Amino acid sequence: MPSEQGAYLSETESRDQATRLVDDLTLLQAEQAVSHRESIELRRHHSKARSHEQVKEDVFNQPAQTPTVGLNPEPPSQLNKVFRGIRGLPRMVRYLLYSIPVTAILLVPILLGSLLPRDQQAVIGGPGGVQLEWFGIWLEVVWLSLWAARIVTSIMPYVVSVFAKILGSGNAKKWKAAGRQLELHTALFLWMLAVLVSYYPILNSHKVPAKVPDEADTEYPNIGWIDVVNKVIIAFFVLATLNWVEKILIQWIAESFHLRTYSSRIETNKQSIAYLVHLYEHSKDKLVSEASVMNTQGQGSGTRTPLAMFSENARDTIAKVSDLANRVAGDFTGREVKLRNHPRKVVSELLRNSNSAQVLARRLFRTFAKPGAEVLTPQDLNPAFPTIEDAEAAFLVFDRDLNGDVSMEELEAFCDEVHREKKAIAASLKDLDSVITKLDRVFFFIIFIIAVIVFISIISASTAAALASAGTAVLGLAWVLQATAQEFLQSIIFVFVKHPFDVGDRVTVYGNTGSLMRGDDYYVTEISLLYTEFKKMEGHIVQAPNSVLNTLFILNHRRSGQLADVFELRMKYGTPPSVIKELEARMTEYVLENKRDFTSKIITELRSFEDAYCMTVNFICFHKTSFQNELLRLTRHNKFAIELMNQMVALGIEQPRRQYQISGQDWPVYQSNIQPPSYEERQQTVDPAILTATRRRANSHAPDTTGDVFQDVFVARKPSNSVINHPPRITEELAETSGAAMGSSSQLEKYPTNGSAGVSSQRFRFNRSMTFRKSADRSERDRGDIV
């Protein structure tokens, strides 16, 4: 606080004082949410060997809250308890338990075949068929090979991860996830391979010899159903093989696409979050230590009573016991479980929306900024890191404009950008999974058709010939599906090969798009296999087929760097070049003073001359970042435009409109029966000191945390705006002053605009219209010229 009585706070200090209470409440809510979520997770019992699919957080679409009031769940039955107990066992044990009931049932034909005499046993398939015992053995092989393949492939993710580490892969977790995705399909392939290999040796080699009744010396030929079943098994084996190869291809496409598109963004976002977690942890420790010192020094009477000490110690003991139980549960389940209110969990909770992300930024700024300082410097972060190099590396991440310091607004923008990037990556990965799933379904349909054709070709040669004839007819009608096939292939190339944008990117689509059919700006909201959904700047949702986007030029603002902002100025013909250079010099000084927003470069371009009365000059400035954030772009654009306008007025740069003389020797101006204006009717002057005081009073309010309201056209009609005490009007304050003071030197300077000041300003000297009388001897032609 300033030492002088009545002195005003700076803008940063005013915001700090206004938002401190709200920020503390938001932090407490985040910590309570983390503790509540952790307590719910502790109630769940997991097996150490059982693999659990981690559900990825969808930060765009939060799951709906399930109602819990008034629900009386039924108590679980004994059978349900048994199933829950089995599900808690390791995978291999569970698979063995699953196979036991059917295995016991399939032992019946084996026992009958081994215990009953041969002449009393039924032959499978009629005379010359298979023995009952060996048929039961083949059924056991079919059933047990399924679970054996499932047990073998259950260790596939770990085997793939070990081989990846041996071969020098830096990301073994990725290969482990790929092995987990291929686990089931590999098991199906191994199962069908085992069935195919064991079929003929077991059944065809153990047939019951029998003679044909009419021909005593002739044995029964090969049983027809054995060959038919073998062909069916071959068709299923082809389907399983193609499905396995297709799943490997899908995983390769997904991993290569993920590596090429999202890996760098994910690593950058993780690094930024890691720095925020480290700084928040240091901030929490620092504030706790300061709070303990303050509590020790400022304790009043009755604060250290035995009951209060017992309550405080009990809370600490319960917290430590819960942390210990959490750690033991994590060790038992094989998962890394962090302690209660772990900084990473709290930071992740705060990065769920823009408001809480800005709360985190203000918390860090209060912790590390020196008292009364407006910015953070690299030296302020040194206490939080073990070495100076680490502190400088973290500071470079926050200092996006590379000007050597970080303000509170810049840190808020950084945290909000990390939050938005996290949302965009999560939504992009979600859409990528959706696209991969749809592509997988299309490929599976194709291989299913291939398997059916193989099956028909193997079963009957005549049916295969008929199928070939039908295929010729289908190829003759291929022109019907030509457009669909072309759109499908173009969409695949657009999504997986070109991929010009991701979810959350701001893009400009050129071509016959937009309301004027000359292109428009959009935000990408969803990417599907055949279409993409955009959101216009006004809020409309637009859907465009990917096959059409494949032929258009697309500008991606997020992937762009520092972009130029062009201001086209039309000024009077004959404006001296020295004035234009002076304007360029002043705007260069302005961008140097605002180096957080603009680069130190101003470019001027003389575009054209129009009929010797107008000249067009372009003033070009460069933003420090791209135009991905529309609010930030608008703020910078307006700041530069207002400063450019003020400097043009100060330099007397005139507009290109022609100025006509309205009075002269031939056209005198007369005034009659007009009283001079009173002082009260004159134009009120504005005192800059009053403007400054009013601005400070307005800034003392806490900022509105309702989000981005620049598109909300009904924001002025919200009931919450009616409770804000707006500052008094400037004219009402000045109306109380004396008339003599009105005529003092406090009147603002009037810059010459729209032509000569000596002639045109005479019309507005008394702030009223004037009656012009022309000479009576002027003709109607002259009057028309004047008009």
Quickly state the pLDDT bin for 331 (edges 50, 70, 90): very low
Which of the residue ranges 137-151, 292-306, 327-341, 697-711 has the most confident prediction, judged by mean pLDDT? Answer: 137-151
Beta bridge partners of 410: none
* Domain 568-651, CATH: 3.30.70
Q: Which amino acid is at 364?
A: L
Q: How many CA atoms does the CB half-sphere of 553 hold within 13 Å?
A: 5
Q: Give the per-residue pLDDT at 2.
A: 43
Whole-Å CA distances, 249 to 358, 432, 489: 43, 15, 17
Q: Taking 50 as the threshold, does the pLDDT of residue 51 lie above it?
A: no
Which of the residue ranges 92-101, 188-197, 288-297, 364-373 has the most confident prediction, judged by mean pLDDT? Answer: 188-197
Query: Are the beta carbons of 408 and 362 closer than 8 angstroms?
Result: yes
The mean pLDDT of the chain is: 73
Mean pLDDT of 584-595: 91
Which residues of the chain are in CATH 3.30.70 domains? 568-651
Query: Are the beta carbons of 625 and 646 closer than 8 angstroms?
Result: no
First-to-last alpha carbon distance for the chain, in angstroms, is 63
Report pLDDT digits (tens) over 253-288. 888 887 777 888 888 888 889 989 888 888 877 655
Whole-Å CA distances, 86 to 50, 76, 93, 136: 11, 15, 9, 28
Q: What is the pTM of this model?
A: 0.62
**What is the residue-wise DSSP string for 408-422?**
HHHHHHHHHHHHHHH
Window from 274-288, 330-344, 609-623 with minimum mean pLDDT? 330-344
Quickly state the pLDDT bin for 245 (edges 50, 70, 90): very high
Mean pLDDT of 23-35: 74
Q: Give the per-residue pLDDT at 773.
A: 40
Window from 27-36, 419-428, 523-532 with minimum mean pLDDT? 27-36
Alpha-carbon span 668 to 439, nearest angstrom: 85
Report pLDDT digits (tens) over 754-774. 333 343 333 433 343 444 344
